[in-house]
Amino acid sequence: MTKPKNIDVLKQLENLFDYLFSIGQIVAVVSRSQENAEKFAATFDIPKSYSSYEKFAADADIKIVYIGSAYTEHVRLSIQMLNAGKHVLCEKPLADTLKDVKLVHNLAWEKQLFFMEVCRINKNVALPIYAACVRNEKITTKTTQDRIKEEIISKNIGEPQMVSARFFLNFNYCERIKTQIRAGMLLDAGIYTVQFACLVYGEYPVSVKAVGEVVQSGHDIDGCIILSYSKGQKACLMYSSNVKSNTNCASIHSTKGSIELKDHFWCPEEVILSTGKETNKIPVGPVPFNYPNSGGLCYEAEEVRKCINSGKTEYAHYSHKDSEMVHKIMENVAKQIGRKLPYEK
């Protein structure tokens, strides 16, 4: 077998930033602090750095902006960048109200620009297919979202009946909220579990029941949610800031079998499908990431690139409608548990 021509692309998959550079150019970084912007640019070899969001938005070289600021700035910055004609991938949570989520979506639609709230797209590398791809000299592996949807549509596992997902962290949330702008655990971690249930069932639940602890600041620090759907299907979701666990799995339990996304389910290295175990390749970064398996974000970048190149303004597996469904559920939960974030309008 001769060496595949695209072996470099495969190699680049091992490094998030190499990969980002391989599919486009990282043009500029912006921060309120010029010092921070320059430091970031130097670390990741980015040509331009800004401390003015206006000047950044006016840079004609920039086609798409990834917003990873404090969550309270997500809506304002999304609007600013969309108004400047940029496509936007915004870190979750886009907003703490459904109203604000819709505001941004409507603007993106009006401007016919790509917009997506981050939903942790991951590549699901089926090993035999992967080997075949190398031989075919192209990468055709699918995202985890694609594979799950395929499994559900094919009815290989029968009809999904129960979904479970849990996201536990142990990072002293009550201390963090004193110095950091945090959105509460529902919006910080619970959102992934809600996104997962929505991916599986694809409709708004007929019933939402939730509990959660709300501390004096108004932040919620944990929660459990039960969602019930039109055909009697259910989802049981759990999240906490005060649990040490390495079993943050998500699973779909169906009439003929199960699908399981192993810890960390939002960026899993292992997925159990009806066809057996599949493993994910998670790229590393040039410096350590703040959160586990963040290198997997390259797959999100790749999907966004494909959408933009093909003129799509939304991602099929996490459309504006999907994102709004997730936020509508979370708004319902927030109301039930009495959450009132310090920054909520």
> Rule CB under 8 A: which residues touch a second copy?
158, 161-162, 164, 166, 168, 170, 207, 209-211, 213, 222, 224-226, 228, 232, 234, 236-238, 240, 242-247, 251, 253-258, 260
Residue ranges of E strands in 206-312: 207-211, 222-228, 234-240, 250-254, 258-261, 270-273, 276-279
Phi and psi dihedrals of 206, rounded to 5? -80, -20
Tokens of 65: 């902006």
Closer CB to a second copy, 65 or 252, in the complex: 252
Closer CB to a second copy, 73 or 213, in the complex: 213
Kindly state the smallest distance separating residue 193's Cβ from a second copy, in Å.
Answer: 11
Closer CB to a second copy, 257 or 285, in the complex: 257
Closer CB to a second copy, 22 or 161, in the complex: 161
Cα gap 23→302, rounded to integer Å: 8
Cα gap 117→320, rounded to integer Å: 8
Tokens of 261: 């996304």
Rounded-to-5 percentages of helix, strand, coil across the chain: 40, 20, 40
Tokens of 221: 């620090």
Kindly state the smallest distance separating residue 189's Cβ from a second copy, in Å.
Answer: 13
Cα gap 50→64, rounded to integer Å: 16
Kindly state the smallest distance separating residue 215's Cβ from a second copy, in Å.
Answer: 10
Kindly state the smallest distance separating residue 146's Cβ from a second copy, in Å.
Answer: 23
Tokens of 317: 């597996």
* Distance (Å) of CA 324 to CA 98, 168, 175, 185, 189: 7, 24, 31, 18, 17
Kindly state the smallest distance separating residue 336's Cβ from a second copy, in Å.
Answer: 9
Closer CB to a second copy, 9 or 162, in the complex: 162
Kindly state the smallest distance separating residue 246's Cβ from a second copy, in Å.
Answer: 8
Cβ pair 295, 284 in contact under 8 A: yes
Which amino acid type is present at position 42? A
Tokens of 268: 């899993």
Among 67, 21, 108, 94, residue whose Cα is nearest residue 302: 21
Kindly state the smallest distance separating residue 256's Cβ from a second copy, in Å.
Answer: 6
Closer CB to a second copy, 72 or 242, in the complex: 242
Cis before 105 (ω within 30): no
Kindly state the smallest distance separating residue 237's Cβ from a second copy, in Å.
Answer: 8
Tokens of 186: 């529902």
